Amino acid sequence: MDNLHQQTFSVTRHDREQLAGHAGKVIWFTGLSGAGKSTIANALEVELHRQGKRTYILDGDNIRQGINRDLGFSDASRVENIRRVAEVAKLMLDAGLIVITAFISPFRQDRQLARDLIGEANFIEVFVNTPLAECEARDPKGLYKKARSGQLANMTGIDSPYEEPQAADVVVAGHQCESVQAAAVILAALDI
């Protein structure tokens, strides 16, 4: 690392935000598989886009098909998955975007790492608080069924832990409201 030096360029994040007409932010969704993270993130992005805001969604399944396709689901791989996503989100924040991430991100320590890397003022943690029983009933990808039958190991909420946020910036009950309503709750809590 001694041979690496941070390069400074003329166009800054502030310049990019001025051009976009809004500040960049990272909105970090967390919750169990099937909680509604991606669905609510999509509804939020649609509304922000309608308002003329520059956005991008980083979604767990999509990222694992590309940049993180080399990672499994062990605790160490989950940590590295979130670290990489936080680094990408930070770059996109520097580009002046409102970055919406939708990842289980099961460990508090990793979410804190993301918050620290991105910066407290730029990071909004959204907990999609949907009970495990409801997530299992939905089971849109059939993952809970596979986990319960022994075909899938390291399933968060089944044989791998999920540590609920202790002080999320926004909490929405993914099982009690439609995605558009949840997005409205999040928007009301944001300063963007």
The predicted model gives 144-168 an average pLDDT of: 91
pLDDT at 129: 96
Percent of the chain topping pLDDT 90 = 70
What is the average per-residue pLDDT within 118-136? 95
DSSP string, 128-175: E---HHHHHHH-TTSHHHHHHTTSS-S-BTTTB-----SS-SEEE-TT
**Which residues are the active-site residues?**
105
Where does residue 67 rank: exposed (0-12), middle (13-18), buried (19+ CB within 10 A)?
middle
pLDDT in tens, 91-112: 999 999 999 999 999 999 999 9
- pLDDT tens digits, one per residue of 1-12: 688 888 889 898
pLDDT at 187 over 90: yes
The chain-wide mean pLDDT, for the chain, equals 92
For 10-58, write each residue's pLDDT tens digit: 898 899 999 898 999 999 999 999 999 999 999 999 999 999 999 999 9
Q: Which CATH class for the 19-189 domain?
A: alpha beta
| Torsion of Cα atoms, 127 then 190 then 123 then 79, to 10° | 20
Residue 27 confidence (pLDDT):
97
What secondary structure does DSSP assign to 42-72, as a single string? HHHHHHHHHTT--EEEEEHHHHHTTTTTT--
Assess whether pLDDT exceeds 90 at residue 61: no
pLDDT classification of 87: cutoffs 50, 70, 90 = very high
Q: Given this model, what pLDDT does residue 112 score?
A: 96
| pTM of the shown model | 0.92
User: What is the phi-psi region of residue 96: left when phi exceeds 0, alpha when psi lies from -120 to 50, beta otherwise?
Assistant: left
Domain boundaries, the chain: 19-189
The pLDDT of residue 192 is 72
Q: What per-residue confidence (pLDDT) applies to 152? A: 87
**CB 145, CB 139: distance < 8 Å:** yes
Q: How many CA atoms lie within 13 A of 71 on its CB side?
A: 22
Helix (H, G, I), strand (E, B) or coil at 124: strand
Q: How confident is the model at residue 189 (pLDDT cuts 50, 70, 90)?
A: confident
